[in-house]
DNA sequence: TGTAGTTGTCATATA
DNA sequence: TATATATGACAACTA
């Protein structure tokens, strides 16, 4: 038996290692917080809230269920009070944290392992040690919670890689072996559970022998500890069941009821079978593997959430014992653990109690109601507040399956969103890379030439230059000054003829753009240094003054020959624009640069200085108009490009926001589903315990529980409950109107 | 030769 | 009304 326990313990431990390596985090702290007291009680003993014998309050009555002064059923009474308190605690909407703790396990030397074997492991020290472990974790969880969901998602996987990086070959082999072990683990979960219970019974026995326990640590708590450990259908981990503890108390309190006296284990067994019978272990592993694949795709938690939030009735999700109760993500925080102590730790590895198929376990308690309980969940009763009547009929079939509810549509919608979320996640990653590529490269084949750095204007935009100044009114003085320094587009400033005073008032353009344009005529070979400008063969110098072109393009005169001068003249002719040719032909006495860029006043003054014919004046005005329009066209194209780029960025941002909101929505829906399951189980349990004056259970078809605003639970006739439900249904409709 | 991208130009609208 | 600017559309040019 010891070897078997050791084997299984190691299996659990190794499975946890495996989970941590694949990035699955299992939150232990969740189950140790005040939200779920039973586990802490099981470990540390019952809290005062549940064990205090409030004799001064014995006459308090739970609505519809009082304590008869002559036959005080304290156990039943306090159980009912606890249930009521849990029902009242449900109004606090609670988003489950996705905190997961994993353990970086090292194998202790054999001696130490044997020394910390389960048989001698669970002592009071171990429980205190648990607190020590969970203490700092809580702090971590709180800080992570503050960071927010999206940030948490963005940080996924930050811790896990080093673990695998430290793996030795032995570790890998071990993981491989364990992986196969774990695949077979499901078949032996009953054994698992039994071993755990056996272990706990050993512990209990040891505690009794040691006599170190106080009286307030009753043996029944240890007994409750043992039978209430359930096995997680997915991980094989043992976890305490919340309700079976009550079940045992019920059987003790009401032995003469329809339920025959049964050992706690016997009570647990149907629960276990109820939990596991629907499970196809192979299917579970496929699910797990699919999660791993999703995570490998860097779809982060969203995909795993998708897996867990299958639509109602989806056997995958409904049978997924991990699903709503074991939020996982890739946040892996590693804790040190030893083989010896892991068995105790695993007992804490419990999903939330809502996952338990309470309904199915409770049915045997009220066999007389079993046929009519389905109708209990009418639209007006407590469950009716959460479940539609037409769907509640399936509530008792199995506790595991998803409860159809009014939110089914939302869930279905969520599933659709999740599908798109997955696409988004993939798409998001792609866009991120694309965006970075856009920033890094200046090449694009898009028809819109989004980052067409072939165009000098886009180059200027990518350099982060003053696009606004260029796109805005070009007549600004700053733009003009920059223009005076860098020269205009295509209308190179003739430094020999154009003084700065005249140029100051000229219409400016982007300096960077002008810089490259000047490069193009000063030294065309420099274009080869800019591959994105290589194939730009357009003439940007058609307005350039011939003198400037000469100085810029002509090789040293010493090397010139007479023949080459003609070639240079032809080259210069080709470099000149049509307007320059015309201006030359018309003998316009000033440069096109001046014609285009001078302010109107100065331009008029310039015209007044010369006696020009009508043809000349017309040509000058055309040159000025075309030149300005040319720059305007360039500005316009650049603005268009900037607009497209900004829109692209906005789309990416919106996609990111949408994905984040979808993830949050999935989280909320998951939490809502958990609460609904809890409400349903509590309702059934409370209703099943109610007895009339003759000690007979109430018929769900005739009575229903109603959850009033002041927190009390009333047992009312079903007809009345139906009426009230109809009123509640009308209210939202009226509001819509 | 066809195609895509760039640029210049025209026509038009607007400030 | 004149001027400047913006923009769609088209053509020319180049790779």
User: DSSP states of A508-523 as a string?
Assistant: P--HHHHHHHHHHHH-
Predicted local confidence at residue A89, as pLDDT: 54
pLDDT tens for each residue of A334-376: 333 333 333 333 333 333 333 333 333 333 333 333 333 333 3
Q: What is the mean pLDDT of residues A211-232?
A: 37
- For the CA of A579 and the C1' of C10, the distance in angstroms is 19
Q: What is the mean pLDDT of residues A64-89?
A: 45
Q: What is the largest CA-CA distance in chain A?
A: 132
Which pLDDT band, with edges at 50, 70 and 90, does A667 fall under? very high
The answer to whether A455 CB sits below 7 Å from nucleic acid chain B is yes
The answer to whether A634 CB sits below 7 Å from nucleic acid chain B is yes
- For the CA of A436 and the C1' of B13, the distance in angstroms is 39
Q: What is the mean pLDDT of residues A41-53?
A: 31
Predicted local confidence at residue A673, as pLDDT: 97
The answer to whether A600 CB sits below 7 Å from nucleic acid chain C is yes
What the block records as the tokens of A185 is: 């683990």
The C-alpha R_g of chain A, in whole angstroms, comes to 40
- For the CA of A104 and the C1' of B3, the distance in angstroms is 61
Question: Is the Cβ–Cβ distance between A338 and A116 less than 8 Å?
Answer: yes
Predicted local confidence at residue A591, as pLDDT: 87
pLDDT tens for each residue of A564-595: 666 667 666 666 777 888 888 888 888 888 89
DSSP string for A139-163: HHHHHHHHH-HHHHHHTTTSSHHHH
Q: What is the mean pLDDT of residues A224-233?
A: 38
How far is residue A349 CA from its own chain's centroid?
23
How many whole angstroms separate alpha carbon A690 and alpha carbon A336?
48
Question: Is the Cβ–Cβ distance between A234 and A321 less than 8 Å?
Answer: yes
More reliable by pLDDT, A142 or A692: A692
Q: What is the mean pLDDT of residues A479-497?
A: 32
Work out the angle at residue A541's Cα, subtended by the Cα atoms of residues A535 and A542, and round it to the nearest 5 degrees.
115
Among A312, A323, A42, A12, CA closest to A178: A12
Q: What is the mean pLDDT of residues A140-151?
A: 36
Predicted local confidence at residue A728, as pLDDT: 83
Which pLDDT band, with edges at 50, 70 and 90, does A681 fall under? very high
Question: Is the Cβ–Cβ distance between A543 and A596 less than 8 Å?
Answer: yes
Q: Which of A22-36, A137-151, A281-295 has the lowest mean pLDDT?
A: A137-151
- For the CA of A532 and the C1' of B2, the distance in angstroms is 23
- Using CA atoms, how far residue A312 sits from A283, A404, A411, A665, in Å, is 18, 6, 7, 16
Q: What is the mean pLDDT of residues A131-140?
A: 36
Predicted local confidence at residue A656, as pLDDT: 97
More reliable by pLDDT, A548 or A722: A722
- For the CA of A79 and the C1' of C7, the distance in angstroms is 78
Q: What is the mean pLDDT of residues A307-311?
A: 35
Predicted local confidence at residue A171, as pLDDT: 58
> Is pLDDT above 60 for A52?
no
The answer to whether A615 CB sits below 7 Å from nucleic acid chain C is no
Residue in this structure with the two tokens 């070979």, named with its chain if needed: A525
Predicted local confidence at residue A710, as pLDDT: 87
How far is residue A143 CA from its own chain's centroid?
17
> Is pLDDT above 80 for A69?
no
pLDDT tens for each residue of A440-478: 333 333 333 333 333 333 333 333 333 333 333 333 333
Instruction: Give the percent of chain A with pLDDT over 90.
Output: 6
- For the CA of A578 and the C1' of C4, the distance in angstroms is 23
Burial A699-722 (b: 16+ CB within 10 A, else e): bbeebbbbbeeeeebebbebeebb
Predicted local confidence at residue A662, as pLDDT: 97
> Nearest nucleotide (C1') to the CA of residue A640?
C7
How many whole angstroms separate alpha carbon A251 and alpha carbon A39?
21
Predicted local confidence at residue A265, as pLDDT: 36
| pTM, full prediction | 0.34
Nucleotides of C under 7 A from a protein CB: 3-9, 13-15
Question: Is the Cβ–Cβ distance between A544 and A494 less than 8 Å?
Answer: yes
Question: Is the Cβ–Cβ distance between A155 and A331 less than 8 Å?
Answer: yes
How far is residue A212 CA from its own chain's centroid?
47
> Nearest nucleotide (C1') to the CA of residue A535?
C15
Nucleotides of B under 7 A from a protein CB: 4-12
Predicted local confidence at residue A351, as pLDDT: 33
- For the CA of A449 and the C1' of C2, the distance in angstroms is 37
Predicted local confidence at residue A123, as pLDDT: 31
Among A672, A674, A666, A651, CA closest to A299: A666
> Is pLDDT above 60 for A649?
yes
Q: What is the mean pLDDT of residues A317-330?
A: 34
More reliable by pLDDT, A24 or A219: A24
The answer to whether A537 CB sits below 7 Å from nucleic acid chain C is yes
- For the CA of A561 and the C1' of C12, the distance in angstroms is 34
Instruction: Determine what percent of chain A falls in helix, strand and coil, rounding each to the nearest 5.
Output: 65, 5, 30
Which pLDDT band, with edges at 50, 70 and 90, does A207 fall under? very low
Question: Is the Cβ–Cβ distance between A684 and A362 less than 8 Å?
Answer: yes
- For the CA of A458 and the C1' of B2, the distance in angstroms is 27
Q: What is the mean pLDDT of residues A165-177?
A: 53
How many whole angstroms separate alpha carbon A651 and alpha carbon A307?
27
Work out the angle at residue A419's Cα, subtended by the Cα atoms of residues A144 and A680, and round it to the nearest 5 degrees.
65
The answer to whether A446 CB sits below 7 Å from nucleic acid chain B is yes
pLDDT tens for each residue of A419-429: 444 443 434 43
> Is pLDDT above 90 for A660?
yes
The answer to whether A475 CB sits below 7 Å from nucleic acid chain C is yes
Q: Which of A83-92, A317-326, A612-621 has the lowest mean pLDDT?
A: A317-326
Which pLDDT band, with edges at 50, 70 and 90, does A168 fall under? low
Mean pLDDT of chain A: 49
Predicted local confidence at residue A670, as pLDDT: 97
pLDDT tens for each residue of A190-200: 333 333 334 43
Question: Is the Cβ–Cβ distance between A97 and A30 less than 8 Å?
Answer: yes
Which pLDDT band, with edges at 50, 70 and 90, does A82 fall under? low
The answer to whether A454 CB sits below 7 Å from nucleic acid chain B is yes
Predicted local confidence at residue A460, as pLDDT: 34
Instruction: Give the percent of chain A with pLDDT over 70.
Output: 22
Question: Is the Cβ–Cβ distance between A713 and A707 less than 8 Å?
Answer: yes
């Amino acid at each position: 038996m010891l070897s078997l326990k050791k084997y299984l313990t190691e299996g659990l431990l190794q499975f946890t290692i495996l989970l941590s390596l694949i990035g699955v985090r299992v939150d232990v702290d969740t189950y140790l917080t005040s939200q779920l007291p039973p586990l802490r009680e099981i470990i540390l003993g019952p809290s005062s809230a549940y064990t205090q014998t409030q004799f001064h309050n014995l006459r308090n009555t739970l609505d519809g269920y009082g304590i008869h002064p002559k036959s005080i059923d304290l156990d039943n009474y306090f159980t009912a009070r606890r249930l009521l308190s849990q029902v009242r605690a449900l109004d606090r909407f609670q988003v489950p944290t996705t905190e997961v703790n994993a353990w970086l396990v090292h194998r202790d030397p054999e001696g130490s392992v044997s020394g910390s074997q389960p048989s001698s492991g669970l002592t009071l020290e171990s429980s205190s040690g648990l607190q020590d472990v969970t203490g700092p974790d809580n702090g971590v969880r709180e800080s992570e919670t503050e960071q927010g969901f999206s940030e948490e998602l963005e940080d996924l996987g930050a811790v896990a890689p080093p673990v695998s990086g430290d793996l030795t070959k032995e570790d890998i082999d071990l993981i491989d072996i364990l992986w196969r072990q774990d695949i077979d683990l499901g078949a032996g979960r009953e054994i698992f559970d039994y071993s755990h219970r056996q272990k706990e019974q050993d512990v209990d026995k040891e505690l009794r022998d040691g006599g170190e326990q106080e009286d307030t640590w009753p043996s029944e708590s240890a007994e409750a500890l043992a039978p209430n450990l359930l096995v997680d259908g997915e991980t094989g981990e043992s976890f305490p069941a919340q309700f079976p503890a009550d079940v045992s108390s019920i059987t003790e309190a009401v032995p003469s009821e329809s339920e025959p006296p049964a050992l706690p284990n016997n009570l647990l067994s149907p629960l276990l079978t109820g939990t596991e019978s629907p499970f196809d272990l192979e299917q579970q592993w496929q699910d797990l593997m699919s999660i791993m694949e999703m995570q490998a795709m860097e779809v982060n938690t969203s995909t795993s959430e998708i897996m867990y939030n299958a639509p109602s009735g989806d056997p995958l999700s409904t049978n997924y014992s991990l699903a709503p109760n074991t939020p996982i993500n890739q946040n892996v925080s590693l804790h040190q653990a030893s083989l010896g102590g892991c068995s105790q730790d695993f007992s804490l590895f419990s999903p939330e109690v809502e996952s338990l198929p309470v309904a199915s376990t409770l049915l045997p308690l009220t066999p007389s109601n079993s046929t009519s309980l389905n109708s209990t969940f009418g639209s007006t009763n407590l469950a009716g507040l959460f479940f539609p009547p037409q769907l509640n009929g399936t509530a008792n079939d199995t506790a595991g399956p998803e409860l159809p509810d009014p939110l089914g549509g939302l869930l279905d919608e969520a599933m659709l969103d999740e599908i798109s979320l997955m696409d988004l996640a993939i798409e998001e990653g792609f866009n991120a890379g694309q965006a970075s590529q856009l920033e890094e490269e200046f090449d694009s084949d898009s028809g819109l030439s989004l980052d067409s750095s072939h165009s000098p204007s886009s180059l200027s935009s990518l350099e982060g230059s003053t696009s606004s100044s260029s796109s805005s009114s070009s007549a600004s003085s700053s733009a003009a000054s920059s223009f005076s320094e860098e020269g205009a587009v295509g209308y190179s400033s003739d430094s020999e003829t154009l003084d700065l005073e005249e140029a100051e008032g000229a219409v400016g353009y982007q300096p960077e753009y002008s810089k490259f344009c000047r490069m193009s005529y000063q030294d065309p070979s420099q274009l080869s240094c800019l591959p994105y400008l290589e194939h730009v063969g357009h003439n940007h110098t058609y307005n350039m003054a011939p003198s400037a072109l000469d100085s810029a393009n002509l090789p040293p005169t010493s090397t010139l020959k007479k023949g080459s001068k003609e070639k240079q003249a032809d080259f210069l002719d080709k470099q000149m624009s049509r307007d320059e040719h015309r201006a030359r032909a018309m003998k316009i006495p000033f440069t096109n640069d001046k014609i285009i860029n001078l302010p109107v006043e100065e331009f008029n003054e310039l015209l007044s200085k010369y006696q020009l014919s009508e043809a000349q004046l017309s040509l000058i005005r055309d040159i000025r108009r075309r030149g300005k329009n040319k720059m305007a066209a360039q500005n316009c194209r650049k603005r268009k490009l900037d607009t497209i780029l900004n829109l692209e960025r906005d789309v990416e941002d919106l996609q990111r926001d949408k994905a984040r909101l979808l993830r949050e929505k999935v989280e909320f829906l998951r939490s809502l589903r958990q609460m609904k399951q809890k409400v349903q189980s509590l309702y059934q349990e409370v209703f099943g315990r109610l007895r009339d004056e003759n000690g007979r259970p109430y018929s769900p078809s005739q009575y229903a529980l109603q959850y009033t605003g002041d927190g009390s639970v009333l047992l009312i006739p079903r007809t009345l409950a139906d009426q009230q439900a109809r009123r509640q249904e009308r209210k939202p409709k009226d509001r819509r109107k």
